[in-house]
Each structure stands twice: as C-alpha cells, then as structure tokens.
Amino acid sequence: MTLLQRLRPDHAPALIAFERENRAYFAASIPDRGDDYFAEFASRHNALLADQEAGTLHFHVLADDDGAVLGRVNLVDVAGGSAELGYRIAERAAGRGLATAAVREVCELAVGEYGLITLTARTTRDNGGSRTVLARTGFVESGTITLMGKPGLCFDRDLTKPVGAAGH
C-alpha cells in the first residue's frame, strides 16, 4: 500500500535515497538535479520545509509501508490561487497507476487544503507517460514550449470544474 504524505523533516533519508536510486532514470526525461543538489540536500530540504510552512509551495511524498519513497508530487510557485504541478515516480514503481492516483489526490488537496483554483504542468512531447497522467487527471493542453531542448507541452487544470466537465 502507498500513502501520500506532506513532506516532513523525517522524510529526508528516504527522499535522498529515492533521488539517488532514480537519478539516471529521471535524467532521461527531465533535467538532472546536478551534483550540488545531493551535496547540499540537508540544507535544501530544510529550506523547502520553511517555504512550505510559508505557503509558497506544497511538497508531498508517496511512501510505501516501509517508509521508502516511491514518488513525489509537488506544487510550486504558489500565488494568486494557482501553482505549477510537478511529479516523479521511482522506476521500480512506474506503470502501476501511482502517479495518476497521487496527482488526483494532490488536486483534491490543492482545492480543499491549499485554496488553489488552477494548476499548470509541463512535459516534453516524448514523455507519453506524463501526458497520460495529465490527461487522466483533468489537465488540458494549453500551449507549446521547449523543455530540455526538446519540444514540450503546457497543460492547465481548472480545479473548480470536475474532471469530465466541458474542457476536461
């Protein structure tokens, strides 16, 4: 069983293990975090928790029964009722619907707990898994971008409309 949890100080060891174990896997589809991320993880983790407390971001981990992190779902750049969604799932947990379920849950939290009304997301065109997750969770394509030097897409989600409503 997996459980979505708001990021806490005690998640640090499992979170850094998750990032290290999946670094090459993630770098194939999203920008690599770089060596400094790992070298300065503890101070970065504390800074993110402070920003979360201030309400400028909302970080979540998807953990298994043993406390191992299987994924993250984050809301960043929180302002004016909007935020940008980002997520990553461990290679060993990919393809099991965890991202879709976790994004759905974070969308519910975004409205009910964080008072948000819109979310945005971005992905490369060649990341079919991410595009599928976004489509299944009510995001609609809203434009094109270049991401990591590749063609990409922007997506929006109006949280005031149920998934399946006009435009979703």
Determine what percent of the chain is predicted with pLDDT higher than 90.
85
Predicted pLDDT of residue 165: 54
Residue 65 phi, psi dihedral angles, 5° rounding:
-60, -25
Quick one: pLDDT band at residue 31, thresholds 50, 70, 90?
confident
Lowest mean pLDDT among 10-14, 34-38, 54-58, 147-151: 147-151
What's the domain count of the chain?
1
Predicted pLDDT of residue 150: 85
Within the chain, residue ranges assigned H as helices are 12-21, 23-27, 35-39, 41-54, 98-112, 128-136
Domain housing 79: 2-158
Residues in CB range of 50: below 8 A, 6 or more apart = none
Which CATH number does the domain housing residue 9 bear?
3.40.630.30
Predicted pLDDT of residue 166: 47
Predicted pLDDT of residue 27: 87
Any domain includes 121: yes
What angle, 0 to 180 degrees and rounded to 10, lies between the N-to-C axes of helices 128-136 and 98-112? Answer: 40
pLDDT higher than threshold 90 for residue 103: yes
pLDDT digits (tens, 9 = 90+) for 56-80: 999 999 999 999 999 999 999 999 9
Any domain includes 167: no
Any domain includes 164: no
Any domain includes 163: no
Any domain includes 88: yes
- Three-state DSSP class for 40? coil
Any domain includes 108: yes
Predicted pLDDT of residue 168: 55
pLDDT higher than threshold 80 for residue 164: no
CA 1 to chain centre: 19
